[in-house]
């Protein structure tokens, strides 16, 4: 089970490994915390009044298409997007948004899903949220909380029989080592890199990079990942940086999706190349 903050996160983080595991017969479930109602329209071709007026329903339809492409099951936790606060100082978050819901309340629908779906593996974001969007931080918090609470018969007894997921992972999608390697490969091929400006200000964090424990080879499914991304047409510009790097360069340079094993109740020595290492029957 992957826990994500918004529709499109399931396609931009770990989607190739998701598609690979689905192809292997694994039942993969995505829990989406919010409807992405306050997300900006990032594709210029979709930046129209009729799209903005119906953004909630359109983002649900996009999620349905991505879900079908990836071959996953998916549920909405039902919370309202907090939006990205801009300004200095930043404005207060909107009343009633996901980031402001008390953690015990916010985690409850996820506890219910975990107990119903009974996953072997749970993935979510690190404590930074992958990037510091308030919904991503909250997603991290409720995922860690629900991972523990779902296994405790004393907590949320009305939400089903307890279930202990065996492994908890954090995504490490945008570590500097990966971006630097892809950038260098683009330059070596005489191509313009979309990461040049970002890398100038990206500080080295060797301790952070060292947290990656698990690299899942899944480059054969980068195409499925890209199709799932394109399904989120309001969020993904097909002419933007997501698709500026040839897939062949990505596969040759960094053919894995990377994770950090945080908690394990099975014998799973790291480094690993499989989220199900140590689990005998992941299907």
Tens of pLDDT, residues 125-160: 999 999 899 999 999 999 999 999 999 999 999 999
For residue 140 the two structure tokens come to 């991290």
Q: Are 150 and 158 in contact (CB under 8 A)?
A: no
Q: Are 179 and 237 in contact (CB under 8 A)?
A: no
pTM recorded for the entire structure = 0.95
The pLDDT of residue 31 = 98
Q: Are 70 and 18 in contact (CB under 8 A)?
A: yes
Cα torsion 216, 29, 51, 131: sign: negative
Determine if residue 189 is labeled as part of a ligand binding site: no
Q: Are 182 and 253 in contact (CB under 8 A)?
A: yes
Q: Are 189 and 248 in contact (CB under 8 A)?
A: no
DSSP 8-state secondary structure symbol assigned to residue 74: E
CA-only gyration radius of the chain, Å: 19
Residue ranges of E strands in 36-194: 73-79, 121-124, 167-171
Determine if residue 2 is labeled as part of a ligand binding site: no
Ranges of the chain with pLDDT below 50 = none
The pLDDT of residue 281 = 65
| Residue environment code for 140-152, b if the CB has 16+ CB neighbours within 10 A, otherwise e | bbbbbbbbebbbe
Determine if residue 9 is labeled as part of a ligand binding site: yes
């Amino acid at each position: 089970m992957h826990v994500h903050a918004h529709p499109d996160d399931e396609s931009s983080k770990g989607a190739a490994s998701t598609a690979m595991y689905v192809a292997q017969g694994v039942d993969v479930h995505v829990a989406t915390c919010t409807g992405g109602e306050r997300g900006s329209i990032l594709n210029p071709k979709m930046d129209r009044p009729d799209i903005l007026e119906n953004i909630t329903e359109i983002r649900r339809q996009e999620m349905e298409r991505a879900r079908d492409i990836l071959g996953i099951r998916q549920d909405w936790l039902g919370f309202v997007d907090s939006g990205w606060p801009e300004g200095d100082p930043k404005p207060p978050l909107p009343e009633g948004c996901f980031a402001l819901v008390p953690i015990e309340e916010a985690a409850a629908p996820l506890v219910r899903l975990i107990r119903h779906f009974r996953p072997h593996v749970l993935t979510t974001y690190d404590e930074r949220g992958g990037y510091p969007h308030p919904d991503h931080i909250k997603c991290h918090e409720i995922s860690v909380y629900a991972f523990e609470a779902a296994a405790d018969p004393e907590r949320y007894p009305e939400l089903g029989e307890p279930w202990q997921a065996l492994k908890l992972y954090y995504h490490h999608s945008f570590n500097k080592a990966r971006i630097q390697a892809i950038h260098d490969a683009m330059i070596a091929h005489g191509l313009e890199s979309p990461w040049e400006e970002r890398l100038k200000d990206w500080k080295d964090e060797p301790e952070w990079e060292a947290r990656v424990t698990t690299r899942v080879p899944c480059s054969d499914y980068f195409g499925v990942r890209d199709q799932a991304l394109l399904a989120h047409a309001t969020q993904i510009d097909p002419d933007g940086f997501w698709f500026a790097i040839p897939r062949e360069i990505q596969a040759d340079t960094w053919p894995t999706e990377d994770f950090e094993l945080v908690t394990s109740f099975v014998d799973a020595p790291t480094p690993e190349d499989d989220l199900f290492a140590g689990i005998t029957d992941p299907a």
